[in-house]
């Protein structure tokens, strides 16, 4: 691995039960880059996101996941989070009885320690980011994701990201279920953090998100492997011609 690489997947193989889902994924992200990952349904995109974060339902049967030269395999999700890895879920779950404010404070303290500046300082920072994301303050007293719309859930994911300031952000179809206004706000939240200290892997089906969060590189995952990598110009071509264009480029292996 290059000394400058921030994140790398090396011949990663993963299964769920007896089914092999990822069949040798190789991917390298340099620090500060934004990479987009696209692919048909069932290609393994969400599996990849969950495996990066350490989801226990998936078994890594080969290869490695490296962050800043350190293998993440064997580390619990909370240990990965403390190292600076963040996953924005495609389907955030509700946690009954836990308020948004309580959850956010617990999450920040778990990742960054107790140095949140006290309750007053912490809430001031939260409210600043909420204002940017166009979230009302009443949001803080609500149960975590209980009765939330799709847009509210996704804004909360980005609010967490803004507060945690991760070094590696993985967005798993954060744009799914969002209307135009919510998509814009979510993208603006992500772009607020972009820079040399944030490396991003944006998993999506749609060009519309990549018009707002412009990637440096595009990769296509099919049949458990990355079968195509290109520059940002490939996004528009993929939108126009679909995955048949990729299959023509790489042959039958794309599936």
| pLDDT at residue number 140 | 93
Pair 36, 210: CB distance under 8 Å: yes
For the chain, 255 residues long, give each residue's pLDDT as a single digit of tens.
445 699 999 999 999 999 999 999 999 999 999 999 999 999 999 999 999 999 999 999 999 999 999 999 999 999 999 999 999 999 899 998 899 999 999 999 999 876 655 667 788 999 999 999 999 999 999 999 999 999 999 999 999 999 999 999 999 999 988 999 999 999 999 999 999 999 999 999 989 999 999 999 999 999 999 999 999 999 988 888 888 888 877 764 554
pTM of structure = 0.92
8: left (phi > 0), else alpha (psi -120 to 50), else beta? beta
Say what the pLDDT of residue 119 is.
63
- Contact, 60 vs 227, CB < 8 A? no
The CATH number assigned to the domain holding 46 equals: 3.40.50.300
- What pLDDT was estimated at residue 2? 44
**Pair of tokens at residue 19:** 């089914």
Q: How far apart are CA 48 and CA 188, in angstroms?
A: 25
For residue 137, give its domain range.
5-254
**Paired residues of 34 in beta bridges:** 200
Q: Which pLDDT value is given to residue 3?
A: 53
Give the chain's domain count.
1
SS3 assignment, position 217:
strand
Give me the pLDDT at residue 20, please.
Answer: 97
């Amino acid at each position: 691995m290059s000394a400058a690489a921030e994140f790398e997947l090396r011949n990663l193989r993963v299964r769920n039960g007896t089914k092999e889902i990822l069949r040798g994924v190789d991917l390298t992200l340099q620090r500060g880059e934004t990479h987009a990952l696209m692919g048909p349904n069932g290609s393994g995109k969400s599996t990849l996101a969950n495996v990066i974060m350490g989801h226990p339902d998936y078994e890594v049967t080969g290869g490695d996941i490296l962050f800043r030269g350190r293998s993440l395999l064997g580390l619990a999700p909370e240990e990965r989070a403390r190292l600076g890895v963040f996953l924005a879920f495609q389907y955030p779950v509700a946690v009954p009885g836990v308020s948004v404010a309580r959850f956010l404070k617990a999450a920040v303290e778990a990742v960054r320690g107790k140095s949140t500046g006290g309750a007053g300082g912490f809430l001031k920072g939260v409210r600043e980011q909420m204002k940017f994301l166009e979230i009302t303050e009443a949001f803080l007293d609500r149960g975590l994701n209980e009765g939330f719309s799709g847009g509210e859930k996704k804004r909360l994911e980005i609010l967490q990201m803004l507060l945690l300031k991760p070094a590696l952000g993985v967005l798993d179809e954060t744009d799914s279920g969002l209307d135009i206004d919510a998509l814009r706000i979510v993208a603006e939240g992500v772009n607020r953090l972009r820079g040399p200290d944030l490396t991003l892997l944006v998993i999506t089906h749609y060009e519309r998100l990549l018009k707002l969060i412009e990637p440096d590189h595009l990769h296509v995952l099919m049949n458990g492997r990355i079968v195509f990598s290109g520059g940002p110009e490939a996004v528009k071509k993929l939108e126009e011609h679909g995955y048949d264009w990729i299959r023509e480029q790489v042959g039958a292996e794309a599936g």
